[in-house]
Amino acid sequence: MPQATLIDGKAIAAALRAQIATEIAGIKAVSGLVPGLHVVLVGDDPASRVYVASKEKLAVEVGMNSVAHRLPADTSQETLLATLAGLNADDAVDGILVQLPLPRHLDTAAVIDAIDPAKDVDGLHPLNAGRLAGGKVDPEHLLVPCTPLGSMLLLRSVLPSLSGLEAVVIGRSELVGRPVAQLLLQADCTVTIAHSRTKDLPDVVRRADIVVAAVGRPHFVKGDWIKPGATVIDVGINRMPDGKLAGDVDFAEAVEAAGAITPVPGGVGPMTIACLLRNTLTAFKARRGG
């Protein structure tokens, strides 16, 4: 059997970061300015600490000014909102990211609503979600959630045109499924959103030229659900009992049917932070020119 092309997210993310670094160097040479990314971390969740450290490190590597605001776990809603108000008002702050999940006593929706939409580099503010959903603004000029944006860049690395292709998105989360469906629609795909209530999910997935799996269940999508030659983007990152990472797609099966597929790890994962940096640069250019 022919095996699918592996979509190398690690390499594509590195190339994107290199491109961002070049652009920032050019901006700095002309204006002396560099984009500033500010990450707000409340509490000491170990996984969140690791993510924030990675974001800081890669932001610095591409030449950004990177600041992490580490607040104690018992930070009040008022204090957090005051921190955000300060960052909103600071012209040197281009991107604001509040690391999720927040401790339970905080109102996440109100916190996200309090971020200046022009600095919302996670693309989660409802104003940014609404502009994406309206379909009138080129997503290039929007702050779009990072994982969906990364998924699209991976798709475009193997499919020069997406127009008219049947895309099936499995999962309808606010962070991934819903925005990636919007981006696929914007790219002129015929888009189906499937989810836990979908009947005959295998049959629905079998229609797809493009499958985006974002369900959070390891090996959920089977190889015989994949139309031969389809492109498969596996957003799932599930930690298995043996400590290894597994995607939402049964890779060993799907790689035999797909035309191209992302591995886990090394597929969508590395794209997420690269797209956060891309959004920070986009926000910088929109606010400060360059």
Asked if 126 is part of the footprint of its own copies (rule: CB under 8 A), the reply reads yes
Asked if 194 is part of the footprint of its own copies (rule: CB under 8 A), the reply reads yes
CA distance 17 to 106: 33
- Which residues are within 8 A (CB) of 221 and not within 5 positions of it... i.e. 6 or more apart? 170, 205, 211, 213, 215, 232, 234, 248, 249, 250, 254
Work out the number of other CB atoms within 10 angstroms of the CB of residue 68.
Answer: 17
Are 128 and 152 in contact by the 8 Å Cβ rule? The answer is no
Q: Is 172 annotated as a binding residue?
A: yes
User: Residue 126: which region, alpha, beta or left (left: phi > 0; alpha: psi -120 to 50)?
Assistant: alpha
Asked if 135 is part of the footprint of its own copies (rule: CB under 8 A), the reply reads yes
Asked if 118 is part of the footprint of its own copies (rule: CB under 8 A), the reply reads no
Which of 39, 106, 193, 281 forms a contact with its own copies (CB under 8 A)?
193
Which of 55, 120, 186, 250 is the catalytic position?
55
Which of 174, 228, 229, 244 forms a contact with its own copies (CB under 8 A)?
174
With contacts defined by CB under 8 A, name the span among 15-23, 26-34, 95-103, 185-193 that binds its own copies: 185-193
Q: For residues 95-113, b (16+ Cβ closer than 10 Å) or e, as one string?
A: bbbbbeebeeebeeeebbb
Asked if 191 is part of the footprint of its own copies (rule: CB under 8 A), the reply reads yes
Binding site for NADP(+): what residues are annotated? 171-173, 237
Site for its own copies, rule CB under 8 A = 109, 125-136, 163-164, 166, 172, 174, 178-179, 182, 185, 188, 190-195, 197-199, 204
Q: Which residues are catalytic?
A: 55, 99, 122
